[in-house]
Chains A and B, each alone.
Chain A
Amino acid sequence: MSIFKIDEELPAKTYIINRAKLVAYANASGDQNPIHQDEAFAKSVGLENVIAHGMYTMGLVGQYVGRMATSSAKVKEFSARFTKPVVVPADVDVELVVSAKVIELTDEIARLEITATCNQIKVLGMAKAVILL
């Protein structure tokens, strides 16, 4: 029997994003673009402040999907559009709230529609994942 039900709303989880975490992600991923670390640089290219790597946000959501799937080994497909930047001011813990709904269920897979918000604003569009059952 599936661990999911169709139309089920999966429990939300909150992830904290701050400057130190962006530095750690830059080092782990190799993406050292200064817009994710250097406030003066970010502002010089017209951004409001330092912004999180889109892939950091997506990585946290991937962690959520893996957890819902009981193992990241079961994550088959995962996609998202980066619609709004996650702005990360100095010395602030920004909360990313992730939740999902089961929109398709077969004997083999569950398809999730994912919502990721910061300050009630959706930061990802068309975020979906396919989990192997």
Chain B
Amino acid sequence: MLNPDLVGRTFEGATSTTITAEAIATFAQALGEPETELASPTFAITISLEQSQSLLENSGLDWSRVVHGDQRFLINKPLVAGVHVTCNSTIESARVVAGNEIVTVRSDLIENDEVAVSSWSTLVFRA
């Protein structure tokens, strides 16, 4: 079970990620979208989910038991090729329902000290 002390804590991403034109194009192609310089609305997940995984695995949760419960994006500034972002992850809530552990992580992609995209992932770790 997740240590309750971790709820409410923010983990600042140590490294910045450069969003490449190639990553945007590969993601768009996988969704059948025409090539564009602008990232798809859900592109932020390629950065945020990996960081949530390492955070929650380091906190003792078993990623092989995870199911995605729900997802929300708030896009203040669409991501484009060439920008550098860091990802700050906050464990907003954790609760146990019928043995399943339900954790909501907010991930803020920070570009030049401003939040470009916030995303909330609710992840269900099955009993």
B113 at the interface (CB under 8 A from A): no
Answer whether A58 and B27 are a contact pair too, CB < 8 Å, given A78-B73, A79-B71, A82-B68.
Answer: no
B95 at the binding interface (Cβ < 8 Å): no
CB-nearest residue of chain A relative to B80?
A73
Residues of chain A contacted by B73 (CB below 8 angstroms): 77-79
Chain A neighbourhood of B18, CB < 8 A:
none
Which residue of the partner chain, among A53, A72, A81, contacts B41 with CB atoms under 8 Å? A72
Which of B23, B41, B78 is in CB contact (< 8 Å) with A65?
Answer: B41
Question: Which residues of A, 106-129, contact B by the 8 Å Cβ criterion?
Answer: 126
Tell me whether B75 and A28 are in contact (CB under 8 A).
no
B69 lies within 8 A of A60 (CB): no
A68 to chain B, nearest CB (A): 12
Summarize B's interface: helix, strand, loop or mixed.
mixed
Scan residues 38-65 of chain A and give those whose CB is less than 8 A from a CB of chain B.
Answer: 53-56, 58-60, 62-63, 65
Q: Does B98 contact A (CB under 8 A)?
A: no
Residues of chain B in range 56-94 having any CB-CB distance to chain A below 8 Å: 67-75, 78
Number of interface residues, chain B, beta carbon within 8 A? 29
A73 touches B70 (CB 8 A): no
Interface size on A, as a range, is 20 to 34
Establish whether residues A24 and B29, one from each chain, have CB atoms under 8 Å apart when the complex forms: yes
A55 CA to B32 CA, complexed, in Å: 14
Tell yes or no: B16 within 8 A of A by CB: no
Q: Which residues of A contact B (CB under 8 A)?
A: 15, 21, 24-25, 27-31, 53-56, 58-60, 62-63, 65-66, 71-73, 75-82, 126
